Amino acid sequence: MMKKSEISEKVKAIVTIQQTVLGGLVSGALDGITDLTGKSLLLEIVSDELDPHPLSETKGLSFYVPRDEAFGEKKQTQFVATTASSGFDAISQSINSVLTDLSLVFSSFDDINMLFKDGFTIPQNEGNGGLLQTIVQSVSDSTQLLRFETPETFKRDRFFWFSDEEFARQTLAGVNPYSIKLVKEWPLRSKLDPQIYGSPDAAITREVIEQQINGYNTVEEAIEEKKLFMLDYHDLLLPFVAKVRELEGTTLYGSRTLFFLTSHGTLKPLAIELTRPPINGKPQWKQVFTPSGYSTNLWLWRLAKAHVLAHDSGYHELVSHWLRTHCSVEPYIIATHRQLSTMHPIYRLLHPHLRYTMEINALARQILISGSGIIEISFSPKKYSMEISSAAYDQEWQFDLQALPSDLIHRGMAVEDPNAPHGLTLTIQDYPFANDGLLIWDALKSWITDYVSHFYPNPTLIASDPELQSWWSEIRTVGHADKQHFPWWPSLQTPTDLIQILTTIAWVASAHHAAVNFAQYAYGGYFPNRPAIARTKMPSEDPTEEEWERFVNEPEKALLECFPSQIQATVVMAVLNLLSDHSPDEEYLGDFVEAAWGESEVVKEAFERFQGRLKEIEGIIDSRNRDSELKNRNGVGILPYELMKPFSGPGVTGKGIPYSISI
């Protein structure tokens, strides 16, 4: 173990340099110290030097994580090697000084394509030029050149992102399959206060829809036949539009996007509605955009899609990903350690599902979701990103709806059917995420049922287990104190209750996270497919003559200016590449038996059945991906859906379900 006196010489020069430069130097020092305790001492010394006055407050170089939640030495070493974790701190503290022009756009699509061929030259600053490389070591092949691996989607079809059909398909088989929902009511109306946000009536009228739904005379018929679906970011985003529009280099709308279920089982985009509330003395503005062969409308449609994709990217990252997995799992982790002994059977069952999450969340708070972090720099809501995540928690999050079957039913994507597999009938039969996810859900539930039945043979043991009851009470009343009185919380009195609660937690930590994480680079690595930010308003929103003429003469330039800037795009691409990467020591669902599970022959046999079922599921998914009738996962240029395949090798593979949220 290194002593403070041995480390102090390493940081002697650091304390005289600006804090924005400090992160990169400390990261370099950390790279040279393999002993974990030595690294902690180094950070302690630096923190002391950065906080010379007891009343001053400075952002530290690390977030405290309890030792039993931190990465083990092997995991830490691997994480540094594969994700350049020490560089995350450098970029979070130095990004403004490293990058010269945050607004510089790509001049053409050829320039974007060059990211995968010739690479992107990283801007340099005197004395601090190499800091950006530390975050992108895995995709950089020189000190100045950033070259990206071509995403699998782009390899298969370089024009995949341009297709309306692919735009729709990705709502079912892409990186965010949690937002698409059935349209159940007509007309569409906002629930927001019309005195503040303007007319609640949607601009998408029956005339707009009925012109495009072949074979159906009315919208009501299409709704009755469950043919209309929607991405609805209207009411969540509209309250933030005025605030976001005060920020430089971004814009925002409330949005609705409607789709029609075709006879082929695929979705067809019908219309996009973008809404701006009354703002700066101007009345509410809303417009509907539809697919069109007319050139002006076609380019407006493309720009409207870019806005919706930015909304979907933000919702995916802030809600489907951060809020519903990383964030919501933390109360389970804390309560498990505080209320269950390490010998408790439920602690032993949950432990692999909760491993490393606090550490990865600390890193996320440090460089991704922090003030002026990567999310705030690169996504449309900018500094209001976490406020939107909080609003979504307040409006949408329910524990019971984190269970996959309940989530599907709630969104209208399935109905209960005791005679159907999984007890559900899907509204869209070819819904790859749901089809494969239900296989994993049932396998998890069967394994947990066997486990609970072994340790609680008498149902009364659950209600009388003080540790278990305290655990569930803390999750509800402390971890989610502001929601503790809602009636949707399950009670914990019977084995059925416990099995449902545990399956939900295990699902969120494993398969839910895998579904929204490991395809991020495949679908977001070519950023026009999923721009993280829309930086300019629609050309048709209160245009000046000059603005409209510029759009008419240079529509491609208008689209490129709406897309992320060079810096925003490349930083997000680098992060998505790293987050999509499996480390060689990944611990996959069902891949190994915990030592505690092997102590009982009954539990060991139950786990082996679980393991065998997961291997069967791999084969089922492969078979589905070969079925040409399943057009949402099979076809020319289409990426097969493999996110629910339990096992994977290392790297960016687009498959594999780790036990826990470890990246």
The residue type found at 37 is T
Beta carbons of 577 and 138 less than 8 angstroms apart:
yes
State the angle between helix axes of 432-455 and 601-625 in degrees (0 to 180), rounded to the nearest 10.
170
Structure tokens at 537: 């308003």
Which residues does residue 271 pair with via DSSP β-bridges, in sequence order?
A: 258
Determine the Cα–Cα distance for residues 538 and 534; give it in Å rounded to an integer. Answer: 10
Question: CA–CA distance from 339 to each of 66, 342, 348, 540 (Å)?
Answer: 16, 10, 13, 57
Angle CA 67–73–79, to nearest 5: 105
DSSP 94-125: HHHHH-S-TTPPPS-HHHHHGGGTT-EEPP--
Angle CA 233–389–576, to nearest 5: 90
User: Which H or E run includes 542?
Assistant: none
How many CA atoms, within 13 angstroms, populate the side-chain half-sphere of residue 639?
Answer: 26
Question: CA–CA distance from 621 to each of 418, 452, 455, 555, 577 (Å)?
Answer: 23, 28, 33, 42, 24
Burial 166-185 (b: 16+ CB within 10 A, else e): bbbbbbbbbbbbbbbbbbee
Q: How far is CA 90 from the centre of its chain?
A: 23
DSSP β-ladder status, 254-261 and 120-121: unpaired
Phi, psi values for residue 190, rounded to 5°: -80, 150
SS3 8: helix
Structure tokens at 145: 């050149």
DSSP β-ladder status, 267-276 and 254-261: antiparallel
CB neighbours of residue 114 within 10 Å: 14
Phi, psi values for residue 274, rounded to 5°: -115, 135
Which residues does residue 582 pair with via DSSP β-bridges, in sequence order?
A: 651
Structure tokens at 315: 């919702």
Burial 68-78 (b: 16+ CB within 10 A, else e): ebbbeeebbeb
Active site residues: 321, 326, 513, 517, 663
Beta carbons of 331 and 480 less than 8 angstroms apart:
yes
Determine the Cα–Cα distance for residues 136 and 142; give it in Å rounded to an integer. Answer: 11
